[in-house]
Amino acid sequence: MTFSVTVLGSSSALPTSTRFPSAHVLNAHERLFLIDCAEGTQVQLRRMRIRMSKINHIFISHLHGDHVLGLIGLISTFNLMGRKADLHIFAHKELEKNLLFNIDFYVDEMQYKVVFHPITPRKHQVIYDDGKIVVESLPLKHRVSSTGFLFREKRQLPNIRREVIEKYSLSLANIAAIKNGEDFISPNGDVIANSILTFHSLEPRSYAYCSDTAYSEKLISLIRNVDLLYHEATFANAEEKLAKQTGHSTSVNAAMIAKKSGAKKLIIGHFSSRYKSVEPLLIEARAIFENSFTVEDGDVFDIPLKRLDSGLE
């Protein structure tokens, strides 16, 4: 089961000759979730051979142009491609009126439905749940209302230990009840705890997208032990004052959040166009959190399956 992130854009407000502005694609079990949609996003989707028709959900972090200006173009392209499936957009409510106006103005004979899901910027809550993937909103700290997103697999029903099926002669009805969390009562009245009867074979995977944001320790508990953390690092630590003034983070800020949250891996991006090389930012981040990486457009970060010990000897 695939769970991987493709970086479409890694620059901040100004694109460069090698970096587009912000956009990521999460492939979760062959379903594609687009996070932010800067100018040029659809070009990057084509370059990276990502099937646009498989994108049914788009999440917009905030309403600065370098995170949203590609949206109306992508919607128009979907229409030209003959799309019929609904497109779900999760964003701050202020976008809806502007988006509907632009669709009406620029898109002829709209052939599919755009379903808008307003986000409450300062509230941490579940905003999407399809039974397999859950998305939580993460309040961020920026000059305007900004929201990060935590994507995680839902823990699926447990497996029943083979030896207990035989030991207690479990029926199909017993097995179904145990999978749903019930204990088992044996014929002689003994209560067998569910935890003894079951085990989970796979650990759910997770990915957090945190951009744009200044350093905010409120994030730490919300992304605890995340497998892959993308945290903006617009500036090197020498520009810490500028980062605070503009509502952005430094490479050191991002690394501190990763370290304090117990993240497994940190990837940093949203780099200021002033940097010809981002190697100094990587060095700063790794001095605090060793498993840090800078991103380039086109990078793919796979989160492999993690199998759990069944507890059997």
Q: State residue 169's pLDDT score.
A: 78
Model-level pTM? 0.89
Calculate ∠ Cα 126-132-136, nearest 5°.
Answer: 20
pLDDT of residue 160: 76
In this prediction, the residues of the chain whose per-residue pLDDT falls under 70 are 157, 200-201, 309-313
Residue 78 pLDDT: 98
User: Which pLDDT score, from 0 to 100, does residue 313 have?
Assistant: 37
pLDDT of residue 47: 98
What is the pLDDT, as a whole number, of residue 312? 43
Cα-based distances in Å from 131 to 154, 156, 157: 7, 9, 11
So what's the pLDDT on residue 309?
61
Class of domain 3-156+200-307: alpha beta
* CATH 3.60.15.10 domain range(s) in the chain: 3-156+200-307
Give per-residue pLDDT as tens, 121-169.
899 999 999 999 999 999 999 999 999 999 999 987 677 777 877 777 7
Q: How many residues does the chain have?
A: 313
C-alpha closest to that of 59 among 51, 71, 49, 48: 71
**Looking at residue 274, what is its pLDDT?**
97
Q: What is the dihedral of CA 144, 147, 148, 153, to 10 degrees?
A: -170
Q: How far apart are CA 163 and CA 152, in angstroms?
A: 31
The answer to whether 159 and 169 have CB atoms below 8 angstroms apart is no
So which residues are the catalytic ones?
A: 66
